[in-house]
Each structure stands twice: as C-alpha cells, then as structure tokens.
C-alpha cells in the first residue's frame, strides 16, 4: 500500500534554550557533587520528560521549601523565586543552588532599580505563572501591578505625578506584548522601561522561526508542556501567522493521526523546555506512517551559554 506523502518543516531555533540547559545541568552537577537525593523546588523547567529523567537520577521535586530536609541541597527552578525563598533557606542553614535563568534575574534587577528610584512597576505577564510570582516577590507587596491584556491597561488608575516603569515576563508573545506596551505608553507617557527588551532572545527567536514555518505549512505541532508559557505562545503564533490548525503535544502518544488526513506539509517546533529527543520521536512516528521528507527552516543561530553557580565550580 502506497504511503501518503508528507513534508515536515522543522523550525529553527527550537527546543532547549541556554537558560534551560543551565538549569538542568545545575541539577545534574549537584547530584554528582553532593550525591542523591538533591531536592528541587517546583519543576526545574516545565517538561515532564525532563523532570522524570532527573527523578531517575536522584532528584526529588517538591512544591515548597519546608518539604526539604536541611541536610540535603535544594535547587530553585529556572523560572525564579520570590526573595523570601532563599531567605528561608539561609535561615534554615540549607545548601541551595539558584537555577533562575540569568535573563529572568535581569528582569528582577531592573525592577529593583526602578523601585529604588521611586517608580511603581507595571509587570506585563500571566497571573499565577512561576516567573511572575518570582518577579513580583522581589519587591514589597503593592510595589508592582500585573497586567495581562490591553483591557487591563484601560482599567489602571495612577496619580498624574506617579512615576512608573514597566517590566515583562520573558516568555510572552512578542506581538501581544507590543500591543499592551503601546497601550501603556499612550496612557502613561512618563512610563520608563528596561534598556533592552525583557522578552528573552530564545522566545523571540522561536516565535520568529514559527512564523516563517507557519506561512508554508498546512498544520503545526508544537512540542511542549501545557503549563509552558513559551510553548503555548508558539501555538498562538502558528495559528495567527499561518491561519492553520496548531496543536500543543507533550509526546507522540498525544497525536490524533486523523489531524494529518489530507495534510501535505506539517510544521514542527518545540518550546524552550522541550528536549530534541521528543521532536525526533514525532519525526520517527511520522516516518512509519508516511512517505516522509524533512526540511529545516532556520531563521537564527544561537550560541549563548550561561555560567554555572560558583558552588558547583569549587
């Protein structure tokens, strides 16, 4: 029986970014240095395959610090944590390693500088996301106001003499954030911002690559977790840029193969916390079912690396 022809167009860049690479390596190196178990507060990155792989090596994932014994090291996730978390670890005299992405830490430091200058910070982000909780937890309660939409901006009310600044979650939709920021700047001309864009290079690059792919395919798969902000934004980008169906899947087992009935070209990308092995898994499953050709569409090259904490170098 003749197989249906299918072209896969792989978006590049895709998958792991430098911050995710660093966070996973911190857990792995901590296991080598201290032995198992090493505790990790929250998912180190939003991907079950990664979490389960680290669990198999001896990592124990917990929701809160008080679930960790004081005689074992604990790692804080790549999304960042409120200041109260390392303070509590120090109070308990724990060994801790902060795997916060350096680009998230940059947002934290920027917010602190604006606060020191007397500015109220408007944070563009998604309520309840660990990164937003961590960023808002860098300052006193009430020092930041969170907005998620242009409609939220319209509801804001500050005194005319209030000095204001903004910051953003690093994994947002570039286009949606642009609209929110334009609304903020129109309403508050005195608004100060970061010297450089808060949305990280990896998020920006993956969205640009997905836009380029979406214009040339009939359907898209984004490999990533349902709680991964940057992965969900890639789905949105694919739908908007290509006017095509787009599905977020964690593993090949979640594919409904009827989605591919009559499809000639399939675009594939992966969120910044999804390992390449999951992309390969999908490609191989497609190869079994279709007469497959694979193309690459690369819109940027990435060679960024972040240093490990000093404790792991000693």
Q: Are 144 and 121 in contact (CB under 8 A)?
A: yes
Q: Are 209 and 297 in contact (CB under 8 A)?
A: yes
* pLDDT of res. 160: 86
* pLDDT of res. 132: 98
Say whether 102-187 and 5-16+201-298 share the same fold. yes
Q: What percent of the chain has pLDDT over 90?
A: 96
**pLDDT tens per residue, range 68-115:** 999 999 999 999 999 999 999 999 999 999 999 999 999 999 999 999
CATH topology of domain 5-16+201-298: Cobalt-precorrin-4 Transmethylase; domain 1 (3.40.1010)
Q: Does position 138 have pLDDT exceeding 80, yes or no?
A: yes
Q: Give the chain's mean pLDDT.
A: 96
Confidence class for position 2, pLDDT limits 50, 70, 90? confident
Q: Does position 40 have pLDDT exceeding 80, yes or no?
A: yes
* pLDDT of res. 304: 94
Find the DSSP H helices in 138-243.
150-155, 174-187, 201-214, 229-242
Distance CA 27, CA 24 (A): 5
**pLDDT tens per residue, range 276-304:** 999 999 999 999 999 999 999 999 999 99
Let me know if domain 102-187 sits in CATH 3.40.1010.20. Answer: yes
Residues 6+ apart with CB under 8 A from 251: 49, 278, 281
Q: Does position 313 have pLDDT exceeding 90, yes or no?
A: no
Cα-based distances in Å from 234 to 137, 211, 268: 27, 9, 10
Distance CA 102, CA 306 (A): 7
Distance CA 39, CA 59 (A): 6
**CB-based burial of residue 247 (10 Å sphere; 0-12 exposed, 13-18 middle, 19+ buried)?**
middle
Confidence class for position 196, pLDDT limits 50, 70, 90? confident
- The domain ranges of the chain are 5-16+201-298, 18-101, 102-187
Distance of CA 305 to the CA centre of its chain: 16
- Mean pLDDT of all residues in 152-164: 95
Cα Rg of the chain, angstroms: 21
Residue 280 annotated as catalytic? no
CATH topology of domain 18-101: Rossmann fold (3.40.50)
Q: Does position 197 have pLDDT exceeding 80, yes or no?
A: no
Catalytic residue, candidates 64, 67, 131, 215 = 131
């Amino acid at each position: 029986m003749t197989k249906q022809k299918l072209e896969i167009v792989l978006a590049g860049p895709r998958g792991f970014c430098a911050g995710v690479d660093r966070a996973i390596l911190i857990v792995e190196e901590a296991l080598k240095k201290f032995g198992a178990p090493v505790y990790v507060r929250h998912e180190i990155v939003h991907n079950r395959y990664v979490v389960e792989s680290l669990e198999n090596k001896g990592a124990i994932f917990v929701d809160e610090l008080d679930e960790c014994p004081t005689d074992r090291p604990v790692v804080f996730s790549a999304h960042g944590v409120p200041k109260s978390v390392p303070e509590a670890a120090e109070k308990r005299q724990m060994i801790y390693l902060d795997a916060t992405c350096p680009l998230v830490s940059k947002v934290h430091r920027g917010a602190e500088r604006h606060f020191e200058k007397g500015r109220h910070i408007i944070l563009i982000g998604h309520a309840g996301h660990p990164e937003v909780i961590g960023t808002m937890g860098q300052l006193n309660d009430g020092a930041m106001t969170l907005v998620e939409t242009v409609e939220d901006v319209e509801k804001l009310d500050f005194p005319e003499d209030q000095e204001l600044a903004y910051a953003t979650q690093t994994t947002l939709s570039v286009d949606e954030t642009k609209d929110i920021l334009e609304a903020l700047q129109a309403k508050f001309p005195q608004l100060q911002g970061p010297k450089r864009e808060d949305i990280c290079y990896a998020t920006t690059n993956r969205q640009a690559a997905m836009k380029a792919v979406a214009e040339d395919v009939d359907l898209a798969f984004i490999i990533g977790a349902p709680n991964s902000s940057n992965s969900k934004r890639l789905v949105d980008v694919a739908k908007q840029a290509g006017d095509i169906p787009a599905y977020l899947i964690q593993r090949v087992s979640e594919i409904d193969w009827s989605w591919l009935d009559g499809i000639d070209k399939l675009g594939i990308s992966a969120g910044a916390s999804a390992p390449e092995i999951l992309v390969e898994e999908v490609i191989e499953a497609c190869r079994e079912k279709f007469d497959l050709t694979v193309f690459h569409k690369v819109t940027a090259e990435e060679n960024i690396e972040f240093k490990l904490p000093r404790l792991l170098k000693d």
